[in-house]
């Protein structure tokens, strides 16, 4: 992803990877909600890396950060973790 022009850190951020967890009735609906959620957070999607259904066994093995995102998604229907990095100072 790239920060959209409206992103508050547009001048300093180069890109990001988002891990989005969404509760949805279908994969299509989940992807649609994820795209809207990402756009609402002022990011432009460049590429989808993967989408997957998670099972209870995987949830039990989440690290603390992923568990936090999962618990937020349980409460609100969707949540995300945005891992971003800044632009190189010489570009």
> How far is the C-alpha of 49 from the C-alpha of 32, rounded, in Å?
15
On whether the CB atoms of residues 87 and 25 are closer than 8 A, the answer is no
> Cα angle vertex 24, ends 22, 28, to 5°?
100
Write out pLDDT tens, residues 43-91: 999 998 888 899 899 999 999 999 999 999 999 999 999 999 999 876 6
Q: 57-66: string of b/e by CB count within 10 Å (b at 16+)?
A: eeeeeeeeeb
DSSP state string for 6-36: TSTTTTTEEEEEEEEEE--SSHHHHHHHHHH
pLDDT at site 18: 96
């Amino acid at each position: 992803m790239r920060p959209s022009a409206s992103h508050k850190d547009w001048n300093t951020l180069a890109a990001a990877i988002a891990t989005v967890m969404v509760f949805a009735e279908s994969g299509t609906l989940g992807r649609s909600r994820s795209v809207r959620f990402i756009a609402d957070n002022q990011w432009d999607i460049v590429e989808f890396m993967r989408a997957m259904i998670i099972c209870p066994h995987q949830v039990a093995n989440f690290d603390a950060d992923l568990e936090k995102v999962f618990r937020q998604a349980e409460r609100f229907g969707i949540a995300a973790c945005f891992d971003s990095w800044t632009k190189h100072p010489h570009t």
